[in-house]
Amino acid sequence: MAASKPNPAPSNLLKVVVVGGGFGGLDLVRHLASAPVAITLVDRNNHHVFQPLLYQVATAALPPADIAQPIRDLLKGSNITVRLDEAVGLDLHRRQLKLRSGGMLEYDVLVLASGVEYTYFGHNEWAAFAPSLKTVKDARDIRERLLSAFEDAENTSDLDVRRRLLTFVLVGGGPTGVELAGSIAELARYALRKNFKHFDPASARVILVESEPRLLSGFTDDLADYALRALQRLHVEIRLSARVSSIDADGVRVGAEKIAAGLVIWCAGVKGTKPASWLPVTLTKHGTVPVSADLSVPGHSNIFVIGDLASVQSSSGEPLPQVAAVAKQEAHYVAEVLRSRLNQTKPPAPFTYRNYGMLAVVGRSAAVAQFNRIRLKGTVGWLVWGLAHIFFLIGFRNRTAVFVSWFWEWWTNRRGARLIIGSIAAVQGKTDQDKSQQGPGATEAGTS
Amino acid sequence: MAASKPNPAPSNLLKVVVVGGGFGGLDLVRHLASAPVAITLVDRNNHHVFQPLLYQVATAALPPADIAQPIRDLLKGSNITVRLDEAVGLDLHRRQLKLRSGGMLEYDVLVLASGVEYTYFGHNEWAAFAPSLKTVKDARDIRERLLSAFEDAENTSDLDVRRRLLTFVLVGGGPTGVELAGSIAELARYALRKNFKHFDPASARVILVESEPRLLSGFTDDLADYALRALQRLHVEIRLSARVSSIDADGVRVGAEKIAAGLVIWCAGVKGTKPASWLPVTLTKHGTVPVSADLSVPGHSNIFVIGDLASVQSSSGEPLPQVAAVAKQEAHYVAEVLRSRLNQTKPPAPFTYRNYGMLAVVGRSAAVAQFNRIRLKGTVGWLVWGLAHIFFLIGFRNRTAVFVSWFWEWWTNRRGARLIIGSIAAVQGKTDQDKSQQGPGATEAGTS
């Protein structure tokens, strides 16, 4: 990158810089689109991701483009600048955000909406063997490893190797772990049926490991119990109150048991992203930022934190869940706070979260939904889940495409995005790191 | 890979091994699906690609999953085995195909359908700077470089750098070069409109370089002339009778002119893939295999070559074009030859190609189509082109998805797959290899 241009906003407008184009950052900018401010949104990806469906990309049900949209295309307002760049530091004194490209962004108001990332509880060495699912790239990598495990199982005659390749372990029984477990089990039992000659894909083992005594801690007991039974009907093995003590190339150790696994996916714990650490406040033990009642950083009324990175208490004293609905309501609230400052009107009352409901899907015709006192499960929960997700998807094209994909998948029991796009060398190298049988120059030979 | 299992076919069936799951290989296997033979198809990718629309993946109009389908899902017959592997050698004496995984496939009949790959006319060093478009991975890489060029142009204030980034050169004026040029020009002029603050994307230059004095050598003069004028209306600069003499990180030299370019795409020449070189025959100058009248290799009646890798003369003595229709007819013919051998009936007459027509698209409402004496261009040609491509796409899901994508794109002038999925580090590293401003550990900082 050559020398970056300084923030191009006219100097008379309030400069609002937003870090992160997830649900929070995107909605905040949209709410401010008509305000007399100059907004710059920084994201290191060119696209906004509909995170709740990322697990469907990881399990070959949807292509990435169906759940991602270019941020530039979503934010075309004349007072909005979108930068594909990465925030790497903060100068509180000069009110400047440092960018990886070498540039600087001056701000009057800074909003951090960069979310959380997976943490391996001090075992960063596990990350190489147990990928997590946060970005489209993560989802694509997991998809390729998952599909390659079945391909490698077809190409081996060693039954132990095959058994290892066809064992998939999900670490963490929250919504992501539950949804992945159900979707992988359905992939193996239905979508891949009759695809292989040397084994029955339904023989694949899917193991869900949760350290708490129950799944889905955010849901009521009976819904969690329903999810557990729905997973068991798909032959998912569930280990509750079980802790992972090591992960390596061969698999995972759960308590005293060593499980040889072809793919371990980490869905266990998250921590705040780096920008939180630049703030002069004590973070929570999860690395998130305890914010004031107006979602600003204590002592810094011009810096706000929203979405998963913010730690906000509900009226009952519980921390708010890290879900899209919270981020969107916080975005709307901060937009109101900024409007009241611009108009010099009375600031809004302290932020409160209105919980409209929670959803998680287990598989075909099986989901749980919790709306205050209304609790839905089974086919009704599943239809509500599907409609809600299509409704909240951004853009007509994505809604139509996802609807077509789902209808086709429901009708045929097949999956629409079963592509291994990496080269065979990369795939074989990845899934069989310990063995090397590839001759030199083999990339030359072409089998189209 | 552990020790590979030998070919699992019962020994009493004729073992047919097919290398390559493109149009030729796939159709051959389908035609033989009910025959008393044991078929193994080897491909190094898990998916069949609808190559004619690959340029739309490269230009963000379609996601990869819309034009690719898992080969296993397409070929589920009980006498068919699909192997994700790569042919790396041939033992003619033992009738064995060597695989990269270390395994071997015994064959009674071998069909090579591994196609062609791009050749840089002895300048392999150009490949690093001028990618070509043959696989889904190629298409995805080109898409990311193309979109990143616009992002980098937004982040720089150096006008020379921006001008270079926004100059796209296509080398080769065949259908791929023409279709890419039209699609990139439309991306810049329509789909990206109002997406950037520091420049007008319509200022991007698209340059098409062709060494012959006209475009689209397979089409009639008037259709080629129409394509040229349609491209010029999109402000594509066309250099005819122009030769590329060098390509490096800064751009391309065409004759005496040095063109600084952000992305050069190679669409110029192809050569036969490696498997051709294992045959004891003299190849054509393009590395393709001159086959007998029954498409077998001279002197080896149990080895056939079909598709782009085969060199077949038309009745007028011209070599047949390297298009899907030729490969599909050859596949059907070889299936007939094998059936006649199995049934000990009279072999079919020598292969002849029936030319039903050729199509190439220039852009929105502009395509050329040539069916014997009927020649279509403009909107009619474009509609015929679109219908033909949707008709030939495999599977209801892909047809529906492509139809939705196209309708949406036509209606909104936007593109549905504008994703840069590689990390920002990878993208910046790729497009700005000469400059390195990335601090260490920068991948840690999260902006969601």
For chain A, say whether B194 makes contact (Cβ under 8 Å). Answer: yes
Euclidean distance between the first and the last CA atom of chain B, given in angstroms as a whole number: 37
Nearest by CB: B43 against A3, A423, A447: A447
Neighbour-count burial of A411, counting CB atoms closer than 10 A to its CB (0-12 exposed, 13-18 middle, 19+ buried): exposed
Average pLDDT over residues B191-206: 94
Residue type, B423: S
In this prediction, residue A380 has a pLDDT band, given cuts at 50, 70 and 90, of: confident
**Contact residues on chain A for B44, CB-CB shorter than 8 A:** 423-424, 447-448
Q: What is the pLDDT of residue B431?
A: 37
- Catalytic-residue membership of B144: no
In this predicted model, which residue has the larger pLDDT, B127 or B378? B127
pLDDT-above-90 percentage for chain B:
69
Task: Give buried/exposed letters for B1-13 (b at 16+ CB in 10 A, else e).
Answer: bbebeebebeeee
Q: What is the pLDDT of residue B304?
A: 98
Does residue B152 contact residue B190 with C-beta atoms inside 8 Å?
no
- Give the residue from chain B lying closest to A420, CA to CA: B46
Q: What is the pLDDT of residue B423?
A: 52
In this predicted model, which residue has the larger pLDDT, A316 or A226? A226
Q: What is the pLDDT of residue A363?
A: 78
Q: Which B residues 387-426 touch A at CB under 8 Å? A: 396-397, 400-401, 404-405, 408, 412, 414, 416-424
Q: What is the pLDDT of residue B11?
A: 59
Average pLDDT over residues B190-216: 95
Does residue B142 contact residue B177 with C-beta atoms inside 8 Å?
no
Task: Give buried/exposed letters for B347-375 (b at 16+ CB in 10 A, else e).
Answer: eeeebebeeeebbbbbbbebbbbbeeeeb
* Dihedral angle of Cα B124, B129, B133, B135, to the nearest 10 degrees: 80
Nearest by CB: B423 against A102, A137, A197: A137
Nearest by CB: B68 against A157, A412, A419: A419
In this predicted model, which residue has the larger pLDDT, B218 or B279? B279
**Contact residues on chain A for B194, CB-CB shorter than 8 A:** 76
**Residue B183 has which token pair?**
């699609």
Average pLDDT over residues B325-336: 96
Average pLDDT over residues A366-378: 82
Q: Which A residues 119-138 touch B at CB under 8 Å? A: 136-137
In this predicted model, which residue has the larger pLDDT, A278 or B411? A278
Residue B433 has pLDDT above 90, yes or no: no
DSSP states of A190-216 as a string? Answer: IITTT--SSS-GGG-EEEEE-SSSSS-
DSSP state of B64: G
pTM of this structure: 0.85
Angle at B280 between CA B274 and CA B283, to 5 degrees: 60
In this prediction, residue B314 has a pLDDT band, given cuts at 50, 70 and 90, of: confident
In this predicted model, which residue has the larger pLDDT, B7 or B127? B127
Average pLDDT over residues B395-413: 79
Q: Which B residues 102-121 touch A at CB under 8 Å? A: 102-103, 113-115, 117
Highest mean pLDDT among B295-304, B397-406, B431-440: B295-304
Q: What is the pLDDT of residue B445?
A: 30
**Is A114 in Cβ contact with B195 (below 8 Å)?**
no
Q: What is the pLDDT of residue B410?
A: 79
- Give the residue from chain A lying closest to B436, CA to CA: A1
- Computed over its alpha carbons, how large is the radius of gyration of chain A? 23
**Is A84 in Cβ contact with B154 (below 8 Å)?**
yes
**Contact residues on chain B for A140, CB-CB shorter than 8 A:** 421
In this predicted model, which residue has the larger pLDDT, B26 or A407? B26
The predicted-structure confidence for A50-105, as pLDDT tens digits, reads as follows 999 999 999 999 999 989 999 998 998 789 999 999 999 999 999 999 999 888 99
pLDDT-above-90 percentage for chain A:
69
**Contact residues on chain A for B21, CB-CB shorter than 8 A:** 448
The predicted-structure confidence for B33-90, as pLDDT tens digits, reads as follows 889 999 999 999 999 999 999 999 999 999 999 899 999 989 987 899 999 999 999 9
Question: Which candidate, B233, B146, B132, B221, places its Cα nearest to that of B177?
Answer: B132
The predicted-structure confidence for B147-174, as pLDDT tens digits, reads as follows 999 999 999 999 999 999 999 999 999 9
The predicted-structure confidence for A403-447, as pLDDT tens digits, reads as follows 888 887 778 778 878 888 875 544 444 433 333 333 333 332 333
